[in-house]
Structure 1
Amino acid sequence: MADEPISALDVSIQAQVLSLMMALREQQALTYLFISHDLSKVQAISDRVAVLYFGHLVELGPTAAIFENPLHPYTQELLAAIPSIGKPLIAQQRQTITVGTSWVEVTPGHFVRQ
């Protein structure tokens, strides 16, 4: 388990740690539980993503599915918060987010709580 393993590190060191983790994963056939608020780093290292909101799992699926088609409002907010060159910084009004009780499989392996 790696709980926020790079959050307090300089960006260049973050890249080195992620590269090392990915190399070790391939060489040693490792599996990581990688916990982070920075979804750009999650995207770089993960095959599958689980999004938690106040301790509740709200979206789960393959990394590509989550990043290409985020369906839960909290996942959408997290992805919108990733800084990007050329992307204007716009203050977004936070929406009220509720956590439903049922799961919907929107595509194979991509689940959203509603």
Structure 2
Amino acid sequence: PAAAQPGAAADDAEAKKRAIIAAALERARKKKEELSEQGAGPKNTEGVSAAVQAQIDAAEARRKRLAEQQAQRDAEAAGNDHDAPNNDDRNSPSTAPDKNRS
């Protein structure tokens, strides 16, 4: 057990990367909210045509949907952290098949 399992190390690295990205996105979202509250939000979104507003609305909806999906994946990943260390493959049987059974 002195050597770490490569799969576990890769999972940890991916989880760390996702956590860093999620934290950065959260900081950016908070900053955007603060600027918006101060009236310092983007000024090129006011007085636009209906077509441009539809594009803006679609982009915001995509961002919201993607953020919700990422939050769900993060929650699921956090929920899987308490699994037994040797229970990596949920789809495999817990014991070898009985060779005497047909």
- Structure 1 length as normaliser, TM-score? 0.25
Q: Which has the higher contact order (CA 8 A, sep 6+)?
A: 1
Name whichever structure is richer in strand by fraction: 1
- TM-score, length-scaled by structure 2: 0.27
User: Relative to total residues, which structure has the larger helix share, 1 or 2?
Assistant: 2
